[in-house]
């Protein structure tokens, strides 16, 4: 008695499993055959961090602007004049705040006296005078 059974159904999962194991083993062994990488070299990076400079400055009151006095019945000419006057008032307030903040800046760092004498020309002059 001869029985026929489909070959694809019986060996399909076994072949797929074998193929997956073979590819997995090849992938793992491929990673193992690479040479050792050199250790990472640390790099130092200097990042400037701004430091706040605090001062006791008196903040002026907000100026009253001429445009706040406008109403719905104001003429277009009055509106334009009020806006122009408001710009002038705001520019004056900005100059005043800039003057206040100017006093809160850090003084410029001085160059040390030893650094001033170490430029190339002064070293060459010192060597030639010996």
What are the residue ranges spanned by the domains of the chain? 74-104
CA distance 118 to 48: 25
Cβ(104)–Cβ(57) under 8 Å? yes
Helix (H, G, I), strand (E, B) or coil at 100: helix
Integer-rounded Cα radius of gyration of the chain: 41
Which is higher by pLDDT, 31 or 85? Answer: 85
Overall pTM surpassing 0.75 (yes/no)? no
Residue 103, token pair as written in the block: 């006093």
Looking at the predicted structure, is the pLDDT value of residue 35 above 60?
Answer: yes
pLDDT at 126: 47
pLDDT at 117: 47
With cut-offs at 50, 70 and 90, classify the pLDDT of residue 34.
low
- Mean per-residue pLDDT, 36-46: 87
- Mean per-residue pLDDT, 80-102: 93
pLDDT at 21: 75
* Closest C-alpha among 86, 96, 87, 88 to residue 61: 96
Q: Which residue has the tokens 């070299």?
A: 41
CA distance 127 to 130: 6
- Mean per-residue pLDDT, 86-98: 94
Looking at the predicted structure, is the pLDDT value of residue 88 above 90?
Answer: yes
């Amino acid at each position: 008695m001869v029985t026929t059974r489909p070959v694809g159904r019986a060996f399909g999962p076994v072949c797929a499993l074998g193929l997956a194991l073979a590819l997995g083993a090849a992938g793992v062994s491929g990673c193992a055959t690479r040479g050792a990488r050199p250790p990472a070299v640390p790099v130092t990076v200097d990042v400037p961090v701004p430091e706040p400079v605090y001062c006791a400055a008196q903040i002026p009151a907000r100026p009253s602007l001429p445009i706040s006095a406008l109403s719905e019945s104001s003429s277009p000419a009055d509106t334009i004049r009020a806006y122009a006057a408001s710009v002038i008032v705001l520019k004056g307030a900005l100059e005043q705040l800039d003057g206040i903040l100017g006093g809160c800046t850090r003084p410029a760092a001085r160059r040390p006296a030893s650094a001033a004498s170490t430029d190339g020309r002064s070293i060459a002059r010192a060597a030639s005078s010996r």
